[in-house]
Structure 1
Amino acid sequence: MPNDDVTLRHPGDVALATYADELAAEIAKTAARYDESGEFPAEHFELLRQRGALALTIPKEYGGRGLSLYELLLFQERLAQGSGSTALSLGWHLMAFGYLSFDLKWPRPVFERLCRDVVQKGHLVNILITERDAGNLLRGGPPTTTARRTAQGWVISGRKAFCSAAPELQQMIIYAWIGGEQRQAEFLVPRTDGMHVIENWNTLGMRSTGSHDIEFDEVLVPHDALLNYIEKDKPSSFTTGSRAFGLQIAAVYLGIATAARNFTLQFAAEHRPPSLGHPILDAPQVQLKIGEIELLLGAAKTLLYGLAERWERYPDIQHRLHQEVWTAKHTVTNHAVRIVEIAMSIVGGHALSRDLPLERYFRDVQCGLYNPPQNDMVISSLAQTAVKRQRNQSVKEKTPAPASALPGIPAAVDAVAA
């Protein structure tokens, strides 16, 4: 077992990391080409499909590998070193099954059928929870996408945004508003006539995620496509367990930062400016920057994997760690951005070259700041919790304690004595 990565706890972790590294090496060969064109990397997903990656978080009893949260993070961090776009696109699929396997709120036969479709048919799935007008629906707003009950089933109409892997999705989990009932629900919608991919994804970073809009034009689905009602102030299928499986997002950006660090170390070892007469790796000012990278990387890994292990080890607190999860996402993604910035400063002007991968890492890592929960939402939530806690403490301190007839004796004891 390698002794330089203490996130690998045992031979099982090492085997998983090796598997992910092999996949990353394959997709890395064409990652730059897909980034340049903005085309969705269908060949990457065919490789992932053939190598069983789509079934990693599906329970073992349904033919999957049943990865834990910790193992999911290990896999995603390493796959992202080959292509951040591909890892992020796959991550939404793996995350969905992580949540459903942990705390299933759907009818079990529907979940079993979806698992079989992934294992046997290679279906790719995503949760579509963002709209141009309503924003990210996990922030609490109602969807503009609607579901209308008919004798034949539900009719779905609306448009979803930022639908990663849109060109390849075979089944989609969407949030829709049921007007007649004045509430929203989760629906499972297969790829079908009336569903149109609107190819409008053209971004600075994560260019090959295929995160186009998808329009649903009077799409008819059966009555059992309604999976779960979303109740106010209660966790949905994908906000349960403190949203811990969303940490796969942070793992992706940590992987991008690690790839930038590895490239920079190799560059520093080989780049020998005539003015120095030795590799820049030996320059004290470069070593200080490398030390800062290692500090940020180590802190991010410790926080991310330490939280995942605590979440798994103590089931009684799994539903009370949402702020810790958000703190980890914020810290890891911001550390990742800073790591790549420092790497760019070490490499210097060469870092801007499209012939080197560092400028792609720089563009891709910025996107972590825009994946939910975003920085402002995390900080606002932490502040509100601290303020509420302080107010409650102040009220408690101002409330006089029950008087005791006997000095020095608690009122409860005094009452018994009486």
Structure 2
Amino acid sequence: MREPSDELVVAGIDLSGTVARLAAAAPAADAAASFPHDGIRAVHEAGLLGLSVAARYGGRDLSLGDLARLAAALGRGDPSVALISLMTLFAHRQQALAGLWPDPLYRRVLAEGERGPVLLNAARGEPELGSPARGGLPRTRARRTARGWSISGTKRFVTGCEGLSYLLVWASTDEPPQRVGTFVVPGSAPGIRIVESWSSLGLRASGSHDVVFDEVEIPHDDVIGLVPADIAGQDNRAQAALTLVVTALYLGVAEAARDAFLAFAEDRVPANLGYPIARTERFTALAGEIDLLVGGARQIIVGALDQAKPEPDTLLRARLLAGRQVKQAVQLAVGALGNPGLSRDTGLERHFRDVQSVLVHAPQEDTVVALLGRTAFARAAADQAPPVDRLPAA
């Protein structure tokens, strides 16, 4: 087996023990498609769920590059745990940047996090709306009441919903003029029902089920960023950095697949060969191809996010390039081993299923390609425009 590398040290924290715990628990959670309680407990005990909390609240305020490195490390152990954890880390990072949470509520959340895992996630997608990344407003309604707000509607693909402490529900108000905002709903509030609809090929333990809200009441002040409905759309370019961080967790999946491939090749000694297949020219070349794809994806991701002020299009382009490479790397590893590559014994079968989701997250691949294409045409048109005549200076 490969020794723990610098890939498992993030912001001075050695994650090798935590990643080993995640990897040990992941197969059972995947097989049962059950919430990964053991993995979340390991992440909490390592103090990782609060790494993106702002320094003004006593947190580490982790950089985007280090968030990606953390996502890759956790994804190597269990990508379902990595995704659930990232949703919480993103919520804390949003507060660090924008400070939109009511301060007493946010400090209560942080205090709860000192006693146990506090998981947060945005509930945005809807059956009728689809992905907010494609435009549209939520049909989920927040109705004004004497005590605050009453939330009703259905949300789709709410990752980790079975273990969420708070759901950040994107909803429209019933008031004239209509507004749109994020309503902070406790996961234990009466009127919440989980519909176990998640039956995906990969990330089976992420529990991205549907959640139904039936007149769920919350206090008046527990809302983030209420804005007029006509300016409430999702800006895909503004989310480019976070989508690239999500891609990094699949980099971790590909690194786990690479390690499984190398371990198999080093241990496999055919009788007619008399030495490990790792010494053959074919497997040496395969290992080099896989390392080129996986190592290249890591360079693309962290290189883009470590820039001082990366352009959104740079981040979107990095996401597609890295995402395609990690899928190709895992496919190559599985195909090279034949039947063992499709066996649960090597772990590659699970890694292959998990990595298929790398470009499914919003904004999806076709949306990103269209954004880049429109930018390319706009740039070409600007380059070809005739120069504007200017009067000489007085």
1:97 aligned residue: 92
**Offset of 1:88 from its aligned partner?**
1.2
* Greater share of residues in helix: 1
1:133 aligned residue: 128
2:289 aligned residue: 292
Q: Classify the secondary structure of the residue corresponding to 1:367.
A: coil
Q: Classify the secondary structure of the residue corresponding to 2:168.
A: strand
| Contact 1:58/1:101, CA 8 A, preserved across alignment | yes
Deviations along 1:44-100, whole A, 9 cap, x unmatched? 222322332222211244343332222211111111111111111111111221222
Q: Which amino acid aligns with 1:346?
A: A
State how far apart, in whole Å, the 2-side matches of 1:239 and 1:62 are.
29
Q: Classify the secondary structure of the residue corresponding to 1:172.
A: strand
State how far apart, in whole Å, the 2-side matches of 1:346 and 1:338 are.
12
Correspondent of 1:189 among 159, 164, 185:
185
| Contact 1:197/1:213, CA 8 A, preserved across alignment | yes
Q: Which amino acid aligns with 2:164?
A: L
**Offset of 1:233 from its aligned partner?**
8.5
Deviates more, 1:359-368 or 1:57-66: 57-66
1:198 aligned residue: 195
1:347 to 2:337 alignment = yes
2:377 aligned residue: 387
State how far apart, in whole Å, the 2-side matches of 1:299 and 1:275 are.
35
| Contact 1:103/1:237, CA 8 A, preserved across alignment | no
Correspondent of 1:153 among 148, 151, 165:
148
Where do residues 324-403 of structure 1 align in structure 2 (5 Å cutoff)? 324-394=314-384, 396-397=385-386, 401-402=389-390
Structure 2's unaligned 5+ residue stretches are none
1:407 aligned residue: none
Deviates more, 1:77-86 or 1:286-295: 286-295
Instruction: Name the CA shift for 1:305/1:234 in 2 (closer, same or farther; >3 Å).
Output: farther
Deviations along 1:349-372, whole A, 9 cap, x unmatched? 211112220000000000112112
1:265 to 2:252 alignment = no
**Offset of 1:259 from its aligned partner?**
0.4
**TM-score computed with the length of structure 2 as normaliser:** 0.91
2:114 aligned residue: 119
**Offset of 1:238 from its aligned partner?**
9.0
State how far apart, in whole Å, the 2-side matches of 1:212 and 1:206 are.
12
State how far apart, in whole Å, the 2-side matches of 1:197 and 1:92 are.
18
Correspondent of 1:255 among 252, 257, 260:
252
Correspondent of 1:164 among 159, 170, 177:
159
| Contact 1:69/1:98, CA 8 A, preserved across alignment | no
Q: Which amino acid aligns with 1:371?
A: H
State how far apart, in whole Å, the 2-side matches of 1:164 and 1:245 are.
16
Instruction: Name the CA shift for 1:337/1:30 in 2 (closer, same or farther; >3 Å).
Output: same
Deviates more, 1:382-391 or 1:285-294: 285-294
| Contact 1:148/1:154, CA 8 A, preserved across alignment | yes
Where do residues 6-17 of structure 1 align in structure 2 (5 Å cutoff)? 13=10, 15-16=12-13
| Contact 1:24/1:79, CA 8 A, preserved across alignment | yes
Q: Which amino acid aligns with 2:54?
A: P
1:56 to 2:51 alignment = yes
Percent of counterpart pairs with the same letter?
32
**Offset of 1:113 from its aligned partner?**
3.3
Q: Which amino acid aligns with 1:271?
A: R
2:75 aligned residue: 80
Instruction: Name the CA shift for 1:284/1:198 in 2 (closer, same or farther; >3 Å).
Output: same
Deviates more, 1:180-189 or 1:364-373: 180-189
State how far apart, in whole Å, the 1-side matches of 2:148 and 2:100 are.
21
State how far apart, in whole Å, the 1-side matches of 2:204 and 2:227 are.
32
State how far apart, in whole Å, the 1-side matches of 2:52 and 2:388 are.
53
Structure possessing the higher radius of gyration over alpha carbons: 1
Structure 1's unaligned 5+ residue stretches are 403-410
Q: Which amino acid aligns with 2:389?
A: A
| Contact 1:242/1:325, CA 8 A, preserved across alignment | no
State how far apart, in whole Å, the 2-side matches of 1:216 and 1:109 are.
24
State how far apart, in whole Å, the 2-side matches of 1:267 and 1:65 are.
39
1:408 aligned residue: none
